[in-house]
Amino acid sequence: MAEPTVYLNGLYLPESEACVPILDRGFIFGDGVYEVLPVYAGEPFRLAPHLERLERSLRLTAMDNPHGRAGWERVIREVIHRNGGGDQSVYLQITRGVARRDHAFPAETPPTALVMSSPLIPPAAEELARGSTVITRPDPRWLHCDIKTTSLLPNVLLRQEAQEAGADEVILIRDGVVTEAATANLFLVREGRLLTPQQGPHLLPGITRDLVLEIAAAEGIPAGEAALDRRDLATTEEIWLTSSTREIRPVTRVDGRPVGNGEAGPLWQRLHAAYQACKDRIRAGEAG
């Protein structure tokens, strides 16, 4: 298999040759932001919303944007092309650049820009049918989780805790309110209504989250934001996790207890099918 090609600061390089200096602030401080977007049949999915969120993260961290939207699209499409097209997961990262170690922003330092890609492999049907097992934990993260920053150590520790507990993911609770999962947004089904935690600084504005709400509206399914707490997790009919590369995953157990009847629910099956139809339209050359 050919070595993947990455984009780094204006150059397209084999992955093994792409390196950054040890004084890059992304390495020293985690001073960077990122995006991940899926690609189907060589076509980036929901590219404009992903670039809008990237611009927002850069703006809120006072970081320079090394490309305009047209520039980012050219780079992304070139990386997709150089890595064979098809289905991919594309990762973008921008750091504040290379400078002497000092917490204050460096003056006139160009940002570091990276784009890389990996194959996007869908889950097996039996894996989806089995659903995800999750645990709940207090949310220990900072107060700006709406910024997609590379400073992910709390999320890393939470996912490791889930793995050691034999679970797939962690649902986070802050001051009694459900926020999101460590690496995904969250949906509940209550009395046939699809609910997701309210937008705010404690959770990431998810691109797939927004798409699920759009699909629900098109399907005539009542849906919206709501303040959710731990009790809702125990009494809900269905729970889903959503992200750009994992799409919509049903949760079948929370803290050892079954969700509903312990199987992927009927509303998830309906939304999952609609999401796959959206991908099929892209593969057929239609707008996504």
- pLDDT tens digits, the chain, 288 residues: what are they? 789 999 999 999 999 999 999 999 999 999 999 999 999 999 999 999 999 999 999 999 999 999 999 999 999 999 999 999 999 999 999 999 999 999 999 999 999 999 999 999 988 889 999 999 999 999 999 999 999 999 999 999 999 999 999 999 999 999 999 999 999 999 999 999 999 999 999 999 999 999 999 999 999 999 999 999 999 999 999 999 999 999 999 999 999 999 999 999 999 999 999 999 999 998 888 755
For residue 234, the 8-state DSSP code is: H
The secondary structure of the chain in percent helix, strand, coil, rounded to multiples of 5, reads 30, 30, 40
Largest CA distance in the chain: 58
Catalytic site positions: 148
For residue 17, the 8-state DSSP code is: G
Q: Per the structure block, which two tokens stand in for 53?
A: 């969120």
Q: Domain map of the chain by residue range?
A: 5-119, 125-282
CATH classification number, 125-282, choose in 3.50.50.60, 3.20.10.10, 3.40.1080.10, 3.30.70.330: 3.20.10.10
Residue 50 burial (CB count, 10 A): 22
For residue 262, the 8-state DSSP code is: S
Note the helical H segments in 133-246: 153-164, 207-218, 230-235
Q: Are 193 and 142 in contact (CB under 8 A)?
A: no
Q: Which residue carries 């046939």 as its tokens?
A: 192
| String of DSSP letters for 200-217 | STTS---HHHHHHHHHHH
Q: What is the CATH number of domain 5-119?
A: 3.30.470.10
